[in-house]
Amino acid sequence: MQLDFTPVFQGWTELAHGALVTIEVTSASLLLGCMLGLLIGIGRLNPRHRFVYGFCTVYLVVIRGTPLLVQLFLLFFGLPQFNIMLPAFFCGVLGLGVYSGAYQSEVVRGAIASIDRGQMEAARSIGMSSAQAMRSIILPQAIVRMIPPLGNEFIALIKNSALVSLLTIDDLMHQGEKIISVSYRSLEVYLAIALVYLVMTGTTSLLLRFAERKLRAGGMVQ
């Protein structure tokens, strides 16, 4: 069998547009996931706040215990049954963000819990509130410890974003499938798609390593 990448070269503008949409979906989902991860992670630090702790725990159990594809379909195909019509792009971002936030929350909780509790007590002893101590003392140290595991989650999010093509979003995978439908060169197109994803995940990994080195060099972690 002879490979023919002519359809890939002819459709490079469509693939480039799809890659841009993938970056947009991933970036928006990442922002949403970070916010949810921080809130849920902090909410699970204190079991004495039963309602907050219980809500966060249920969120984790449900989201981590069901497939991402099912969650995306519930948003895109399920909500219209209740006359709630959301744009495909919004459904993709919401689904990916909520799913990623569940995993990021455990990273946040673990990193914060790893900071010596004496630092919080010392901050409270000099008149800081718990929120001030968390914002000014605990979180800056925890962020550096979060970077390696969060990096893995960010890379997984980029790869998981391929599922939004099933919601008719014109991401990289969806554009590639359009090219396949007219060229019938599936192997070549999927190889090109894989290469683009590899470039995106590799670049993300390098940027995260650079950020971690900068933070460590800046003395934010001992």
The per-residue pLDDT for range 84-101, each reduced to its tens digit, is 999 999 999 999 999 999
> Which residues, in sequence order, are CB contacts of 97 under 8 Å at separation 6+?
28, 29, 30, 31, 32, 33, 36
Q: Is 156 exposed, middle or buried (0-12, 13-18, 19+ CB in 10 A)?
A: middle
Which position has the higher pLDDT, 182 or 119? Answer: 182
- Structure letter (DSSP) for residue 163: G
The token duo for 60 is: 């984790």
What architecture is domain 21-171?
A: Orthogonal Bundle (1.10)
pLDDT tens-digit readout, 173-189: 999 999 999 999 999 99
Domain spans, the chain:
21-171
The lowest-confidence range among 100-109, 138-147, 212-221 is 212-221
More confident residue, 94 or 124: 94
Kindly report the average pLDDT of the chain as a whole number. Answer: 89
Give the range among 139-148, 150-159, 198-207 with minimum mean pLDDT: 139-148
pLDDT given at position 221: 46
Please determine, for residue 220, whether its predicted confidence score (pLDDT) is greater than 80.
no
